[in-house]
């Protein structure tokens, strides 16, 4: 179950996602997508390991694992520290986006949602789900055709924020990683964090 209050614990993995308020967009230009990734590196990369991401026009998905609690903070304080880093990241992006587009008010619909990943199968399925988001939305025919996800970076071994070798090892090898991501007739990812009319 997704919520905004689940504690973010060390060495635990989470699906993090959010979407724009109403019918607004989160990203309107290539520069927006690139700046969002820049802010992730600035605020989150020291605290999280990334395993998949996809930035869509009106929402985003991240699959992350929280790094160790090296300051030996209490569980509650540690979770607050990580949540605060997320807030800094998203708030800084929203402020820049609003300034660029001469808009006011909230950009994100609510606080970011998080779902604890409790099995390797869930983890693996979520990677496929995240990378196939643009395919399901009808934006591209194949996950490698979408510029703003980690799929192509993993495929081409280019610079990426994700733990490429660990992701590939989950699928045994790169060939099976590619095979498992292939859309097929009637393709429908089994993992669905959203309910109702929320974005894919």
The pLDDT tens digits of the residues spanning 133-171 come to 999 999 999 999 999 999 999 999 888 999 999 999 999
Range of the domain at 100: 13-181
Higher pLDDT, 71 or 91: 91
**Cα separations in angstroms, 51 against 67, 74, 97, 161:** 13, 26, 26, 8
Structural domain contains residue 144? yes
12-33: average pLDDT: 96
Q: Kindly report the pTM of this predicted structure.
A: 0.90
Structure tokens at 51: 């395993």
| Inside any domain, residue 190 | no
For residues 78-99, give the mean pLDDT.
Answer: 97
Q: Quick check: is 188 in a domain?
A: no
8 Å CB contact between 123 and 51: yes
pLDDT of amino acid 198: 46
Identify whether 3 is part of a domain.
no
pLDDT at 32 over 50: yes
Position 8 in a domain: no
Mean predicted confidence (pLDDT) in 65-74: 93
> Does any domain span residue 128?
yes
Q: Is position 153 within any domain?
A: yes
Residue with tokens 């934006």: 139
pLDDT level of residue 124 (50, 70, 90 thresholds): very high
The pLDDT value given to residue 188: 57
CATH number reported for the structural domain that contains residue 60 in this entry: 3.30.70.1290
User: How many distinct structural domains can be found in the chain?
Assistant: 1
Q: What CA–CA distance (Å, rounded) separates 31 from 96?
A: 11
In a domain, 6, yes or no: no
Check residue 153 and give its pLDDT. 94
Give per-residue pLDDT as tens, 177-197.
Answer: 999 998 754 555 555 665 433
């Amino acid at each position: 179950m997704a919520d905004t209050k689940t504690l973010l614990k060390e060495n635990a993995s989470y699906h993090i996602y959010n979407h724009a308020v109403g019918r607004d967009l989160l990203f309107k230009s290539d520069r927006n997508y690139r700046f969002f990734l820049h802010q992730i590196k600035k605020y989150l990369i020291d605290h999280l390991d990334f395993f998949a991401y996809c930035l869509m026009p009106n929402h985003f998905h991240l699959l992350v694992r929280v790094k160790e609690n090296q300051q030996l903070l209490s569980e509650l304080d540690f979770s607050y520290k990580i949540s605060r880093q997320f807030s800094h990241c998203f708030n800084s992006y929203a402020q820049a986006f609003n300034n660029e587009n001469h808009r006011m008010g909230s950009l994100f619909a609510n606080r970011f949602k998080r779902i604890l990943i409790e099995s390797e199968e869930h983890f693996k399925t979520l990677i496929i789900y995240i990378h196939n988001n643009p395919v399901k939305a009808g934006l591209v025919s194949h996950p490698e055709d979408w510029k703003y996800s980690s799929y192509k970076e993993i495929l081409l071994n280019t610079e990426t924020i994700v733990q490429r070798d660990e992701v590939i090892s989950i699928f045994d090898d790169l060939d099976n990683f590619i095979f498992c991501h292939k859309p097929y007739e009637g393709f429908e990812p089994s993992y669905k964090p959203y309910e109702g009319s929320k974005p894919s």
